Amino acid sequence: MTGHQDVLPGADALSEVLDAVRLRGDQVHRCEPSAPFAIQVPAEMRALYIVEHGEIDLLLAGWADPIRLGRGDVALLPHGSAHSIELGDERGVHAARWLCGTFTLDEVPAGRLLAVLPTVIEVHQDPTDPLEWLDVSGRLLAEEITNPKPGSAVMVSRILDLLFVQILRAWAGSGVAEGGWLTAAMDPQVGKALEAIHRDPARAWTVEALAHLAALSRSAFAERFTRLVGQTPGAYVTERRLDRATELLRHSSTPVGTIATMVGYESDAAFSRAFRKRFATSPLRWRRTQLSDPER
């Protein structure tokens, strides 16, 4: 072939992290009640709201003031915090319509990796300069609800995935984010190191090797990584190894000793010590607990 070609980029740090938590869009529903209306949403449902028409109030458990969402606005609750959706008629607004999407993910790595995110992330549309990605995604979801066709479940899942990523990008680029892997993932230098760690956590990473990938000196890299991520490179590598170990323990029958080697430990004893330090139990006992819990 001749001529210019646009080549898709390889995996980046944000992609690697989201793949590690097995984030997947689940379902989407349309709500169109008349006011007054209120519904309580229990904890553990990671939800995304997109307002198509009118206004709704999102009230988080323990918060004094509601978050008002208008046409085109979106709110993401990445931790699944308990909340309520309310529609009052005191403003003369008697109807509203919104979409509610839900997500599933692997709880163990997600709990630590998503800990840097706030309780709720809001994205508000500017009518004079609308966000094209949000507008297009909302219309695509609405189309799948209104006129479902073969493959709609997959379409909905992929669109929700895209929305989650776009919202994280918007939040990380807003200047509100204060450290953590997401800020680091957007960093052109530290992001390269994060990408490599997530892609191959079992590798015997050294600060020198990671600094080389980031094109920084050892000291400059260690300082920048620790400041952005909130922990040292070594501590981050250990967490990712243990995240990978929990995935293998839960979803495979691979022997514990083999898993220890697969995630980068030279001995079962070293793996067990690191695992017990984080989970306060042995790998084998942790696996048995997971298998005996039907909710996991």
pTM recorded for the entire structure = 0.72
- In the prediction, which pLDDT does 58 show? 95
- In the prediction, which pLDDT does 1 show? 46
- In the prediction, which pLDDT does 176 show? 65
Give all domains of the chain, ordered by start, each with its CATH number.
13-172 (2.60.120.280), 187-292 (1.10.10.60)
- In the prediction, which pLDDT does 5 show? 47
pLDDT tens-place values along the chain, 296 residues long: 445 444 334 457 777 777 767 778 888 999 999 888 999 998 888 899 999 999 999 999 889 899 999 999 999 998 889 999 998 765 555 789 999 999 887 766 677 667 778 899 998 888 778 788 888 998 999 999 999 889 999 999 889 888 988 888 888 777 666 656 777 877 888 988 988 998 899 999 999 999 999 999 999 999 999 988 888 999 999 999 998 999 899 889 999 999 999 999 999 999 999 999 999 999 999 999 887 665 55
CA distances from 167 to 50, 163, 182, 202 (A): 12, 6, 12, 31
- In the prediction, which pLDDT does 228 show? 86
- In the prediction, which pLDDT does 225 show? 93
- In the prediction, which pLDDT does 173 show? 73
